[in-house]
Amino acid sequence: MPPDPGYSDPLPAAADLRKLGLIAGGGELPARVIAACREAGRPLFVLALEGFTNPDCLAEVDHAWIRLGAAGEGFRHLHAHNVQDIVMVGPVRRPSLADLRPDWRATRLFAKVGLKALGDDGLLRAVIAEVEQEGFRVIGVDQILGGHVARRGTLGSVQPDDQALADLAHGAAVARALGQLDVGQGVVVQQGIVLAAEAVEGTDAMLSRCAGLRREGPGGVLVKMCKPQQDRRADLPTVGPVTVMRAAEAGLRGIGVQAGAAVLVDVAEIRRQADALGLFVIGLTEEGTP
Amino acid sequence: MPPDPGYSDPLPAAADLRKLGLIAGGGELPARVIAACREAGRPLFVLALEGFTNPDCLAEVDHAWIRLGAAGEGFRHLHAHNVQDIVMVGPVRRPSLADLRPDWRATRLFAKVGLKALGDDGLLRAVIAEVEQEGFRVIGVDQILGGHVARRGTLGSVQPDDQALADLAHGAAVARALGQLDVGQGVVVQQGIVLAAEAVEGTDAMLSRCAGLRREGPGGVLVKMCKPQQDRRADLPTVGPVTVMRAAEAGLRGIGVQAGAAVLVDVAEIRRQADALGLFVIGLTEEGTP
């Protein structure tokens, strides 16, 4: 078993000072990116998505709100603010076309991708290509929050036992297969049985139904893996202190994430929670091994 | 689109009169099998599983209750009652080993299969092999309820439109992939997005979370497919009138099942419900086409 990888939440060594455009979805990650830019003195403009971005994180930040379907307006904002790099973080639940009210630019994008069997993943790839065509450089959140990308090994003092290691490996295989189908990134496995598979409900909702599904005996594990075919500059699986709490409430014994392809939001607090609640948090290979 | 396959709920033409042993799980199917045997005058003995079989269906039926882990006792009952054929119907949620308290016979069976990554499907295959070694013939529920096995074509008057057909095909592909992973048999797809994937929670629980996950616009579809590798003598996907009601409550537009590999419990009532609620119910090829 590799030792604790000794995260230290550092900023990337040479903080890039090119102006960053943050396209902000939901969850805790946008606030983390904003804080990291502030600490590094990196110029920042935030494109906040109505219904997704948490407004609290935008205080004293240069930003504009747009509807998800207003692609043309979004590009105008990004150009007007002389943004150079773009990072997209935080979950965005794809609405129906009716809700989306796509403008001309968004409609053209959808027409390119084709709509009938469009998963989140296909859409994200198309959006990235479109953003790059506009002359922006799309970067991954790991380039901003380098110290938060999961590494191999356990974080904190709790180690998985043999049954948990078997469940982690099985969970990793199933999570990657679900990802390949563009279903989701997360899965809960207990004693070889898949208790729950994540689709659009999200990890927290999946965990909340597991308390009622678990069997007696050694508890299960949550595994979140990167979709094999996804562009790693968008939608990396994310685990935060809240995930650890929900996992404990669901009777799980630990959490496995893909090293190098998952973001740990607030490593120090995750470690503290995991130790306090007696859970392990482990970075795994693509194959689900320690 | 093939026409209404014109189910007529017939009993199989030549009702077999070999004594049947019914190993009864939960749900509505055991009662259906009991009724079919009664109508056909087929001798029957029911092995009822504590915590799974609905006691109401056992009135005036020769039966014995056993714990799920009491395999040796179960075989003694089946032999003592001179059972010749065995059918296993109705869902059985695999308990933990601690709850199972396996007897010597069940322990030997588990030891054969290996426990670490044992899914429901592997376990069922092992149980079937064990039952056959005892000299019983294991038959599929379709041999008892022939008139209830899904056929290609729509049941009732509502037809899927192009978006629904695309969702059915995508759902069939995802459901079969989930089945291959031994995760589950059911999936809900709306406008190309997998809203929910079924694991151990069951179809009804999956449907009940879909109302809150659906997008505006044309509703989704429920697809239930047979696991590609499963022994079709056990655990066929099942749809009943309650499934149609739950699907309507979840805002779905219809249900697709694999023709020849799914059981429709009470075809006449399913057709009535589907027409009354404006849903389609369609039997699909393995590829998810009509």
CATH number at residue B210: 3.40.140.80
Closest-CA residue of chain A to B209: A201
Q: Is B113 on the interface with A (CB under 8 A)?
A: no
H or E segment at A189? Answer: strand A186-190
Q: What is the pLDDT of residues B223-270, one digit of tens each?
A: 999 988 887 887 789 999 999 999 999 999 999 999 999 999 889 999
pLDDT at A90: 84
Tokens representing B193? 């997005």
- Mark yes or no for CB contact A117/B170 under 8 Å: yes
Q: At residue B120, does pLDDT exceed 70?
A: no
Q: Which of B95, B124, B143 is the endpoint of a domain?
A: B143
CA distance B254 to B240: 13
Residues A159 and A80 in one domain: no
- Mark yes or no for CB contact A117/B194 under 8 Å: no
CA distance A44 to A273: 31
| Average pLDDT of the residues in B92-109 | 74
- Mark yes or no for CB contact A191/B163 under 8 Å: no
Whether B15 maps to a domain, the answer reads no
A194 min Cα distance to partner chain B (Å): 6
Q: Say which DSSP state B73 is in.
A: H
How, if at all, do strands A263-264 and A238-239 pair? parallel
Q: Is B211 on the interface with A (CB under 8 A)?
A: no
Q: Is A94 on the interface with B (CB under 8 A)?
A: yes
Q: What is the pLDDT of residues B10-51, one digit of tens each?
A: 444 445 689 999 999 888 889 989 999 998 899 999 999 998
> Of B193, B200, B201, which is closest to A200 when you measure between CB atoms?
B193
pLDDT at B285: 96
Which stretches of chain A score pLDDT less than 70? 1-16, 94-99, 113-122
Residues A118 and A157 in one domain: no
By the 8 A CB rule, do B236 and B142 touch? yes
Q: Is A64 on the interface with B (CB under 8 A)?
A: no
Structural domain for B235, as ranges: 149-284
Task: Count CB-CB contacts under 10 A for residue B224.
Answer: 27
Write b or e for each residue in B16-54: b if 16 or more Cβ atoms lie within 10 A of its Cβ, otherwise e: eeebbbbbbbbbbbbbbbbebbeebebebbbbbbeebbe
CA distance A188 to A221: 6
- A188 contacts on B by Cβ (under 8 Å): 199
Residues B25 and B100 in one domain: yes
Residues A79 and A99 in one domain: yes
- Mark yes or no for CB contact B94/A200 under 8 Å: no
Whether B160 maps to a domain, the answer reads yes
Residues B238 and B209 in one domain: yes
Residues A131 and A223 in one domain: no
Whether A172 maps to a domain, the answer reads yes
Q: At residue B275, does pLDDT exceed 60?
A: yes
Q: Which sign, positive or negative, has the C-alpha torsion B268, B270, B275, B281?
A: negative
Q: At residue B117, does pLDDT exceed 60?
A: no
pLDDT at B142: 83
Closest-CA residue of chain A to B220: A96
By the 8 A CB rule, do A95 and B215 touch? yes
Phi, psi of A32 (to 5 degrees): -65, -40
- A202 contacts on B by Cβ (under 8 Å): none
- Mark yes or no for CB contact B182/A194 under 8 Å: yes
Residues B130 and B190 in one domain: no
Q: Given pLDDT bands bounded at 50, 70 and 90, which one contains residue B80?
A: very high
- Mark yes or no for CB contact A116/B184 under 8 Å: no
- Mark yes or no for CB contact B197/A177 under 8 Å: no
Q: Is A99 on the interface with B (CB under 8 A)?
A: yes
Q: Is A13 on the interface with B (CB under 8 A)?
A: no
Q: What percentage of chain B reaches a pLDDT higher than 70? A: 89
Work out the angle at residue B150's Cα, subtended by the Cα atoms of residues B144 and B155, and round it to the nearest 5 degrees. Answer: 130
Residues B167 and B108 in one domain: no
Residues A180 and A125 in one domain: no
B109 min Cα distance to partner chain A (Å): 17
Q: At residue B116, does pLDDT exceed 50?
A: no
Q: Is B37 on the interface with A (CB under 8 A)?
A: no
Q: At residue B93, does pLDDT exceed 80?
A: no
Residues B114 and B70 in one domain: yes
Tokens representing A223? 């595994």
Q: Is A196 on the interface with B (CB under 8 A)?
A: yes
B174 min Cα distance to partner chain A (Å): 7
Q: What is the pLDDT of residues B141-185, one digit of tens each?
A: 888 887 788 999 999 999 999 999 999 999 999 999 999 988 999
Residues A199 and A243 in one domain: yes
Whether A34 maps to a domain, the answer reads yes
pLDDT at A13: 43
Report the residue of A161, A195, A207, A215 to disrupt the B interface, i.e. the one with the largest count of B CBs within 10 Å.
A215
Whether B290 maps to a domain, the answer reads no
Q: Which sign, positive or negative, has the C-alpha torsion B202, B100, A165, A242?
A: positive
Whether B1 maps to a domain, the answer reads no
Whether B191 maps to a domain, the answer reads yes
Q: Is B177 on the interface with A (CB under 8 A)?
A: yes
> Of A95, A97, A193, which is closest to B119 when you measure between CB atoms?
A193
Total domain count for chain A? 2
Give the CA dihedral B162, B164, B167, B173, nearest 10 degrees: -90
CATH number of the domain encompassing residue A85: 3.40.50.20
pLDDT at B16: 65
Q: Which of B99, B121, B143 is the endpoint of a domain?
A: B143
Q: Which of A109, A143, A177 is the endpoint of a domain?
A: A143
Residues A69 and A125 in one domain: yes
Whether B197 maps to a domain, the answer reads yes
Q: Is A174 on the interface with B (CB under 8 A)?
A: yes
Report the residue of B194, B201, B208 to disrupt the A interface, i.e. the one with the largest count of A CBs within 10 Å.
B194
Q: Say which DSSP state A5 is in.
A: -
